[in-house]
Amino acid sequence: KNEVEQSPQNLTAQEGEFITINCSYSVGISALHWLQQHPGGGIVSLFMLSSGKKKHGRLIATINIQEKHSSLHITASHPRDSAVYICAATDKLIFGTGTRLQVFP
């Protein structure tokens, strides 16, 4: 069993839908990263958070350290949000398997 689990593995949505991706981890961490990987491989770091909630544009990330759980939300989803979303637990930088999101017009 992976120390960092993501769900769902695959997600399809219609443009405009509200999307939630979940990440659960079993290791002790001081912070968690959310990453976005587009086809072709390039990875962008979306958030690094250690408590509470962070917001950037249409993206919101939350974390509950006690419950060892984090969520990434996308409001008003758009086809350009289609990518693989990966959570990673510091400090050992253990990565989840990723959630492949496809948003259709």
Partner 1 sequence: ETGVTQTPRHLVMGMTNKKSLKCEQHLGHNAMYWYKQSAKKPLELMFVYNFKEQTENNSVPSRFSPECPNSSHLFLHLHTLQPEDSALYLCASSQTGEKLFFGEGSRLTVL
- Site residues for partner 1 per CB under 8 A: 2, 4, 30-31, 33, 35, 40-45, 47-48, 86, 88, 90, 92-98
- Cα-only R_g, the chain: 13
- Cβ distance to partner 1 smaller for residue 3 or 17: 3
Q: How far is the CB of 69 from partner 1 (least distance, A)?
A: 18
Q: How far is the CB of 43 from partner 1 (least distance, A)?
A: 4
Q: 79: Cβ–Cβ under 8 A, 6 or more apart, which residues?
A: 15, 103, 104, 105
- Contact (CB, 8 A) for 33 and 47: yes
Q: How far is the CB of 105 from partner 1 (least distance, A)?
A: 27
- Cβ distance to partner 1 smaller for residue 23 or 103: 23
Q: How far is CA 30 from CA 21, 51, 53, 104, in A?
A: 20, 9, 15, 36
